[in-house]
Amino acid sequence: MTRSIPRLRWLAFALPVAFAPTALAADDFYGTTEPFAKEAVYFVLTDRFVNGDPTNDHRDQGGAHRTFDLPVPGAPEGESDNVGYMGGDFKGIVDNAGYIRGLGFTSVWVTPIVDNPDQAFTGGEAVTWGGMFTDRGKTGYHGYWGINFYKLDEHLPSERLDFAGFTRAMKDQQLDVVLDIVANHGSPAYSMPKMQPQYGKLWDKDGKLVADHQNLDPGKLDPRRKRLHAFYNTGGGLAQLSDFNENNPQVLEYLVGAYGQWIDQGAAAFRVDTIAWMPHAFWKRFADRIREKKPGFFMFGENFDYDAASIAGHTWERNGGYSVLDFPLKARLTEVFEKPGSDFAELGKALYLEDGPYANPYDLMTFYDNHDMARMDARDEGFIDAHNWLFTARGIPVIYYGSETGFMRGRAEHAGNRNYFGQERIDAAPQSPIFAPLQRIAQLRRDTPALQRGLQLNVRLKGDQAVFYRVLQHNGIHQTALVMLNKADKASRISVSDHLQQGEWRDAFTGRKQRVRNRLEAEVPAHGVRVFLLDAPITREDTRARLAELMERKAPKPD
């Protein structure tokens, strides 16, 4: 399960941008100084990626309520979905770390690793094909139904590959691990015909039971008189989940202790599930404690809300300074890239490069789909165009596993969205028309600071064309990227003169150099991207003035 709300984090030396833009050095132009902005994230639903070690499958687990391989009933002919475990594990990811890194990614986001119940759930409404929030017959294969946040779920590790071993093995292959965390709920807790031994319970690091819902509706809990009820709210939550009491200090202590343990074992950043279900005050306390332990630790939250004003609050320091998954931009991305003939101008409406609500729009996590919504339903060309945008425009790109081949495009949860990918599909992935263009643009972003952290100055977002600069002038780096995108079915010759700095520009892909004075022209292939780089300071006065304005207006003034 997931829920939402996010935060953006500013380093101390970046604070003058938000609070006193006039204090900036005259030559300082950048979108963000956030170190995590250099990352590109590949999102893996661990159980559904690759079964690298069949010995941890636990195929006999659960008895009458077994947990392995549970097909969703009612699937149309030739279709499938599954709510049981399918065997994906740490070894399956490590075995394919070279594949992920070779695609151009630098981090892997994995779903929660904490211990989940050992039976399928018997409460709630029965899982049906294409249904949502229906959990009867479902297991915790996804990891979001924690019963012990200090304990690693038994389906994930292999010999010498616990979580610490996993993060070390990934780091050896130049990949960081982003850990998905949950703080507002545990496992499903009530509506079972007969109480199951683990659902609705919570254990601590010593194996002591600290909370028990006892299969009671939330309104029947008695937290004042019964110690094991005190972890939970009595107002109910989502889909029979045990809802943590954000006002109980023991809840915060439990979570800080558990997630501090996983930081010690190598978690490089957190993705915060369902952040909107806890108040800002709770997340501020949590962030302060985590960053007391690990200064500057990056966290991004999920607030499943398409209103920028609603999700932006999480990004401010007073609320914990989280980044967020950029749902408002996601809505525009699918609108543009699912539909041939759509207008790039739609994306401009959700960038908020000036006078927007976010602490810093450049620190947002950009994406077009995930495990909680229908996958993008686009042609191959739509995926290529989306990737060309995500890896050149502002924000930190996140790609859901399998999207490099258009896997399960258009499919929602319980209709194939989370289907097993597997080694055979990975081995065949380079044959997909989507694969090579993604690899090309992702590797370019990985090697180009301006595309990671540069200020974005739009020249043209119209029809099938997008033209913009990314300018990075900070701490001795002087790099400008001129990006030209064409999502039409035929090549287009694009000419740029607005804000163009004279000098020696080079093609970012070929290295070919050209001396530019007043105009730069290039033919951009159908569904293609051209990027030109200038490694020199910006001296053109109107460009400098516009960049200074963008610097001053990229974050609203604090209240």
Taking only the tens place, the pLDDT of each residue in 291-321 is 999 999 999 999 999 999 999 999 999 999 9
pLDDT at 13: 27
CA 369-372-374 angle, to 5 degrees, is: 55
pLDDT of residue 559: 56
Q: What is the mean pLDDT of residues 415-444?
A: 98
Q: At residue 8, does pLDDT exceed 80?
A: no
Backbone phi and psi for residue 424, each to the nearest 5 degrees, phi listed first: -65, -40
Residue 536 has pLDDT above 70, yes or no: yes
Helix (H, G, I), strand (E, B) or coil at 161: strand
**CB burial readout 123-149, b (16+ within 10 A) else e:** bbeebebbbeebbbbbbbbbbbbbbbb
* Residue 110: its H or E element: strand 107-110
Percent of the chain with pLDDT over 70: 95
pLDDT at position 237: 74
**pLDDT tier, 108 (very low <50, low <70, confident <90, very high otherwise):** very high
Report percent pLDDT > 90 for the chain. 92
DSSP SS3 for 484: strand
pLDDT for residue 231: 97
* pLDDT in the model for residue 268: 98
Q: What was the pLDDT predicted at 201?
A: 98
Q: What is the mean pLDDT of residues 198-214?
A: 98
pLDDT-based confidence at 238, cuts 50/70/90?
Answer: confident
Q: Which of 79-83, 129-133, 508-512, 517-521 has the lowest mean pLDDT?
A: 129-133
Provide the whole-model pTM.
0.94
Nearest to 275 by CA among 241, 230, 320: 320
pLDDT for 12 equals: 30
**Pick from 156, 138, 3, 123: which is nearest to 81 by CA?**
138
